[in-house]
Amino acid sequence: MEKRNRSICSITFFEYRKGKRWWAFNQMQLAIKPIQSLEGIEFFKLMGTGGGFGFSLSPDFHTYSLFIVWKDIPSAKQYTQSEAYLHFNKNCKSNFTYWMGCVQSKGSWGGENPLQASFEYNDGEIMVLTRARVRWAKIWRFLRHTPAASRSLQNASGLIFTKGIGEIPVLEQATFSFWESMGHMEKYAYQKDHLNIVKKVKKEGWYREELFARFIPISLDKLGDG
């Protein structure tokens, strides 16, 4: 069931050819103002990505991500006609946008929680965004233990897509994952390697800040403008 006055979230992955990678890297700063000027934006983050599954120390210099929270459906529907999007689209090799309705969000990102839980999950596919800012004093512990959880994610049943994303290498990391069902996602979450990491995080206080959110995939074409 959808609620009134619902915000819409999107995450776009832009893939670039080798000759455009320096251009793409520079957009991490140059594209901020054009994105800020988009009508109806409540929150956004332009981020790099990691190679492999989940968290990775190896950057993926040919893929960048743009996460946006839109205040309403009409604003979201204008995204692909915007100057900012068309600028990226012209220079990238390919791109794909996941449209999402938030069903749960807790924690903060940059001192606030930008996500409004304005949809409900009933059944079917689900997306998850986990984001954290690691404490300097805990970086070694983080680097030592998280690769095991990332390796287990690679073999997780029901995983449709996943990508590590982040603003600052190592210090500010996030993982986006897309699952066939809540059951598949929870089966991974309670798997031994992942569960052990979660326990260590809480017991040792690895993070200065963290956010956990769940979404359902949505189709803008099937949503009214209300």
DSSP conformational letter for 120: -
Residue 164: is it exposed, middle or buried by C-beta count within 10 angstroms (0-12/13-18/19+)?
buried
Does residue 153 carry a pLDDT above 60?
yes
- Give buried/exposed letters for 45-78 (b at 16+ CB in 10 A, else e): bbbbbbebbbbbeeebebbbbbbbbbbebebbbe
Average pLDDT of span 183-191: 86
User: pLDDT per residue over 14-43, tens digit each?
Assistant: 999 999 999 999 999 999 999 999 999 999
Query: What are the structural domains, with CATH classification, of the chain?
Result: 8-221 (3.30.70.100)
Q: How far apart are alpha carbons 146 and 69 in whole angstroms?
A: 28
Average pLDDT of span 191-197: 73
| Residue 54 banded pLDDT, cuts 50, 70, 90 | low
Q: 107 phi and psi, to 5 degrees?
A: 105, -160
Residues 6+ apart with CB under 8 A from 168: none
Contact 214, 126 (CB under 8 A): yes
Q: How far apart are alpha carbons 120 and 104 in whole angstroms?
A: 8
- Give SS3 for 111: coil
pLDDT score at 2? 42
Does residue 4 carry a pLDDT above 70?
no
What does DSSP say about strands 126-134 and 207-217: parallel, antiparallel, or unpaired? antiparallel
User: pLDDT per residue over 93-141, tens digit each?
Assistant: 999 999 999 999 999 999 999 998 989 999 999 999 999 988 888 878 7
Q: How far apart are alpha carbons 129 and 215 in whole angstroms?
A: 8
pLDDT score at 85? 96
Nearest to 69 by CA among 116, 9, 13: 9
User: pLDDT per residue over 196-207, tens digit each?
Assistant: 777 887 888 888
